[in-house]
Every structure is written in C-alpha cells, then in structure tokens.
Structure 1
Amino acid sequence: MRQSFFSPRKLVGKFVPVKGPAQPVAGKGHASSAVRTPVKTGETLGRIGTLEVRMARNLKEVRKAQRLRYQVFYEEMSAIADAATLSSRRDSDAFDAYCDHLLVVDHASLKRNKLGRLKPEIVGTYRVLRQDVANRNGGFYTSGEYDIQSLIDANPGKKFMELGRSCVLKPYRNKKTVELLWHGIWAYVLRHNIDVMLGCASIEGTNPDMIADQLAFLHHNARAPEEWRVRAVEDRYVEMNRKPAAEIDSKAALRALPPLVKGYLRLGAFIGDGAVVDSQFGTTDVLIIMPVSELNSRYVNYYGADASRYSS
C-alpha cells in the first residue's frame, strides 16, 4: 500500500469493465446482469504456476482446511483452544457444515493421506457463506458481533455474502497466494451474483488501548457512510474513536494494521461502527463491509470483469 494513502474513500471508484466481452457490474441489484452458473463443489477457479484455487471437494478437504486454521490460529497465533479443539487439532464450529470452503492447494507440495496416497497440500483457505444459505441455517456468524440484520433489512433487493476464517500457511504468505485467493472470491461473487461482502477482520490483541492508533485511524478514515454503517452489538461494543484525528501518526497506524485489513481497504472496503474483543482468538475485531458496486475499479479490473486473469 502506498504510504500516501490515508482515505480509503479516495480509492473507491465505480466498477469500470475491462476492454473486451466482459460483463459489466449492474448499477443496482446484482453484481452482474448476466445469468451465470453457480460455483460447483470442487470447481477450479484459477491457477498460478503450481497453485490452484478451488472449492473444497469433500468433507476430508474441509477437515484439512480446519487443521490449517488450527495451525495458524492456535499454534502460531494466540487463540485459546477448548478440550475438543485440542483433541481434534482442528478449528471448527457449527457454521463449517453449511459454508463453502475456498482452498488454495499447491500441486508441488504433496502430502500422504491415511490411505498412503499423495495429495496436494492445502496452503490457504477462506470460508464463505451466502445469505440464502445463512437464512436456512440460523444466520451469519458475524451477527454475534455486529447488528448486520439491520443492514440486510435496509437492502432487501441485495444479496449478501459473509467472508471469514481466512488464513494462509506461513511460507505462502506472499502476493501470489493472496491474489489467487481473491481471484477465487471474485469468481465466486460474480457467479452467485453477490452484491455485498461482509465479515470480521482481526487485529491482534485484546486491549483496545494498546491498538488505539489503529482503531482510531480506521474510525476517522474508513468508517462506513451512514447508508452502510453497522454498529457492534451493544454488550460487546468497543469505542474506536479513541484519539482525535490530529493526534494520530497516520503512516505508522497504517503500517501497523494487519495485511488483511490493509488489503480490504485497498479494495475499497468500509469499516463498521465499533470494535469487538474476541477473547478466544486473542484479537479485536472490526467489521468489513464491501458493496460490490463500490469496489475500487483498479483492483476489480485487475482480476477481470469475468474473473479471467488466473482462470485455468
């Protein structure tokens, strides 16, 4: 991210299709007026070299993604595991059963399964949950931290999708892997006609005063406009406006933000009202809101209006 970037709104531009036969994003309603075939289980959504991004094929692959999440969240970071999580060595919850699981696999890194067969290693994952699926299964995970239902109710003609549980194996935390994950998400958004993406992003630490500059920077520079603003649930609300804008070293605060949060800002994301402390994961969460019509045209066009940049 350029150090001169202080206001995410300055980077937000309406979607401008790339040259060629690509489908435009509709000004209102769904992400595209074209009729698209939904993403299928196991479908490949893109490739870069030996890396492939696709949907999980079966429960075994979901469990491998859960083990990757455990390795990153519990072994590398500071999440606190309960007895069941320690025993299974998998990060899992009830939402995994009906979410779609986006995977990055490395065909150059083969691991033997329990049957002795060599399988490409899963090195990155994202969990996605569409509104229609959430409605049939008790709602979104994010609703435990933010009053997102008020935003959904205010936009009855739009399709929402939740992003969550994002992680990448340490040796693969590079531009190539992240770009491939986002290529997969963009393909998924287009194919399912998603209008709004949302989800929680985490800043390490559970003491808001220790990350006051980061929270205040987001409050002053990236807070959602009124029509997209969502407030943290009352009993978990943490004030983000912890410092006047004039007292913040904006460059330092921006550098300190997690790469995922900075990536969302580059895409043109908004931040919700208030943070939430997640003691189990040792983090402070902020709400990410990304209306497809407001995404930064530079990045959308980079992946292609039809998600063709890394298509196989």
Structure 2
Amino acid sequence: MQRNPTERSSPRLMQLLKPEAAGAIAATAITWLKAPPYLPHGRKSAPRPLSLPSASLGKMGNLEARLATEKRDVRHAQKLRYKVFYKDGGAIADAATLLARRDKDAFDKICDHVLVVDHAGKPTMSGKPPVVGTYRLLPQAIADRHGGFYTESEFEIASLIARHPESRFLELGRSCVLPRYRNKRTVELLWQGIWNYVRQQQVDVMFGCASFEGTDPDKLALPLSFLHHYAAATPEWNARAQASRYVEMNRMPKEAITPKAAMQQLPPLIKGYLRLGAMIGEGAVIDYQFGTTDVLIVLPVAAIKGRYIEHFSAEAA
C-alpha cells in the first residue's frame, strides 16, 4: 500500500528465491498456471484459475497505467522507488542500494508491478516513456508458492487468510508517485489500473501496509488513536502486528479525539483507503530503516463503496 520498506524480506522467501530466478513477471505467472494445484493456509478447495492480466490497465490523456512486462520495466519502477524513498525521503540506504540506486528486494521477482507512464515525458535511454508512478501487487497464489507475503514480516496475516479459505487475497505495496504527478488524475489512474487487475484476477480482499512519517508513536497519538477507535477491523477481518514489533495504537481515549483534526493528520493514501471502505488492523509497527510507523490496511472488495466501483468501472470503460 504506501511504501513497503526494502530489505525486510521474509526469511522463508529469501531461502526459496535464487538470484538467477528473476525472469519476466508474466513468465512467473505462466509458471504458476502450469503447476499442480496447491492448497495453502488450510484452503478447502483449489483456487479459481487465474487469467493473465492485460498489460494495459487504463489511460487518461498522455498517462497510461500498465503492467511491467520486461525486466527493465521493473528496474524503472525500482529507480523511481529509490528516488522517492531514499533520495527525496528519509529511508536509509545500505551500500548495495546506494550503488544500484534502485529500491529492490527479493519480492520484486515474483510480484506484478503496475506502472504509470507519461507518453508525453522525456523518453528513457531505452526509448520508453518515463515511469512516474508505481504499485507492487502480490497475488496470494504466487505468495503461497514462494514462502508468503511481504506484510507477514510486520503483521500476522496467516490467521486472517485462514479465516477466509475461499477468498483470494492480493497484497498491495511499494506505492509511490513523482512529486509533480501527485495529483488526483494520477492517483485515480493508478486505482483504475488496480481495479482492472482486481477484476481480471477475481480478487476478493486487498491488504498491505500504509505508513506515517516518523518513528515516535506519541507524536502520532491523535491519528493512531483515531484509527483505533473509528476504523478498527471487525473480528472477521482483523490481524495483529507481530508480537515482537507490536506498538499500541490506542494512545488517547475516544472522547478526547476530534475526528476532523485527526483526519487532517492522516497521510492522503490512508484517507483514500478509508473512503473506499478499508479497515485498520490491530497495532502498529515501527520501521526505523525507513523512518515510518506502519499500520495494516484490510480492504474486502465487497466493502468498497458502490460509488467508487461505478466510478472506476466507468473510467475503465
């Protein structure tokens, strides 16, 4: 959802992935389609068959949302993430990241990457339009075959999935947009692309981490407490922060909260998720490398407000 920090990969995934096993994202999906049925997390029946998503996911003027189809597409997304998270943001890069000037981890090899490209922008050295926004998507079927979701390093996702064995989950992360493109048009195009992907893949539930700037939860007492009291997930959809990383969000009594003031302190992305119908998991997690405080977003597709579905469907049409 908003930036998922780099280099916090699940140990299980790191053991399973080999550096040379990159390949195109589409090829990864095709490999899964040819594999025998796999029933993770106590699922009672085999997952519905996946269809490969279309590369183009939507257009608005000179901007287009599409899936990365080549290694260099993913590299462009990684370069954009490096600029936003490290160069312009407060993330602390290790030597390898500084040398590569790319935000990358093992999950990039198995994820789908939604890119927003500007066909009117200055072409890259490869002659392609520049990438100005990106989101990283990890379908449950792929995550199950490669050791799990990225979010599991912060939140207890397995129990949430186990309660919904017939649902198909999709993890969203690594969201970023260049500053000059941070406007309603670009964000809506990103969501139009995600919505088309969700429909094509028959996704039932979206989830992922979203971040506040800063690592002092006391300074974030108002917005964290607001999310705890006003947007907490129901027991059916709740998931807790990992015990070793758990940070209490309930830092103020409900009667002491002014919702309007609290909303003003929420990052735009979290506000957007709440408007769509998202819920917040239990507990926050401090990420000192990226200088953020992370919360869990859970968004069942059935909970998305009708007016947004109509809007994005109309845009898609």
TM-score of the pair, normalised by structure 2: 0.83
Q: Residues 275 and 286 of structure 1 are in contact (CA less than 8 Å); yes or no, is this contact kept in structure 2?
A: yes
Distance (Å, rounded) in 1 between the aligned partners of 2:212 and 2:183: 19
Match of 2:286 among 277, 292, 305: 277
Hey, what does 2:8 align to over in structure 1? none
How far off its partner does 1:36 sit? 8.3
Q: Residues 194 and 292 of structure 1 are in contact (CA less than 8 Å); yes or no, is this contact kept in structure 2?
A: yes
Q: Residues 124 and 130 of structure 2 are in contact (CA less than 8 Å); yes or no, is this contact kept in structure 1?
A: no
Q: How does 1:98-109 map to 2 (within 5 A)?
A: 98-109=110-121
Distance (Å, rounded) in 1 between the aligned partners of 2:316 and 2:149: 30
Query: Does 1 or 2 have the higher relative contact order (CA < 8 Å, sep 6+)?
Result: 1
Hey, what does 2:163 align to over in structure 1? 154
Q: How many pairs does the alignment contain?
A: 270
Hey, what does 2:232 align to over in structure 1? 223
Q: Match of 2:116, as an amino acid? A: V
Hey, what does 1:76 align to over in structure 2? 88
Match of 2:272 among 263, 270, 288: 263
Hey, what does 2:315 align to over in structure 1? 309
Match of 1:54 among 46, 66, 69: 66
Q: How does 1:80-95 map to 2 (within 5 A)?
A: 80-95=92-107
Distance (Å, rounded) in 2 between the aligned partners of 1:279 and 1:294: 33
Residue segments in structure 1 that go unaligned for 5+ positions in a row:
1-33
Q: Deviations over 1:55-96 (max 9, x none)?
A: 012010100100100100111111110110011010001000
Hey, what does 2:259 align to over in structure 1? 250
Distance (Å, rounded) in 1 between the aligned partners of 2:168 and 2:123: 38
Distance (Å, rounded) in 1 between the aligned partners of 2:277 and 2:229: 15
* Secondary structure, aligned partner of 2:57: strand
Distance (Å, rounded) in 2 between the aligned partners of 1:80 and 1:104: 26
How far off its partner does 1:110 sit? 2.1
Distance 1:157 1:35, change over 3 A: closer
Distance (Å, rounded) in 1 between the aligned partners of 2:242 and 2:50: 36
* Secondary structure, aligned partner of 1:111: coil
CA RMSD across the alignment: 1.4
* Secondary structure, aligned partner of 2:129: strand
* Secondary structure, aligned partner of 2:136: strand
Q: Residues 180 and 310 of structure 1 are in contact (CA less than 8 Å); yes or no, is this contact kept in structure 2?
A: no
Q: Deviations over 1:206-263 (max 9, x none)?
A: 0100111010000011000111110000000000000001112221110111100001
The answer as to 2:201 corresponding to 1:201 is no
TM-score of the pair, normalised by structure 1: 0.84
Distance (Å, rounded) in 1 between the aligned partners of 2:187 and 2:243: 34
Distance (Å, rounded) in 1 between the aligned partners of 2:222 and 2:202: 37
The answer as to 2:52 corresponding to 1:38 is yes
Distance (Å, rounded) in 2 between the aligned partners of 1:70 and 1:37: 31
Residue segments in structure 2 that go unaligned for 5+ positions in a row:
1-47
Hey, what does 1:174 align to over in structure 2? 183
* Secondary structure, aligned partner of 2:120: strand
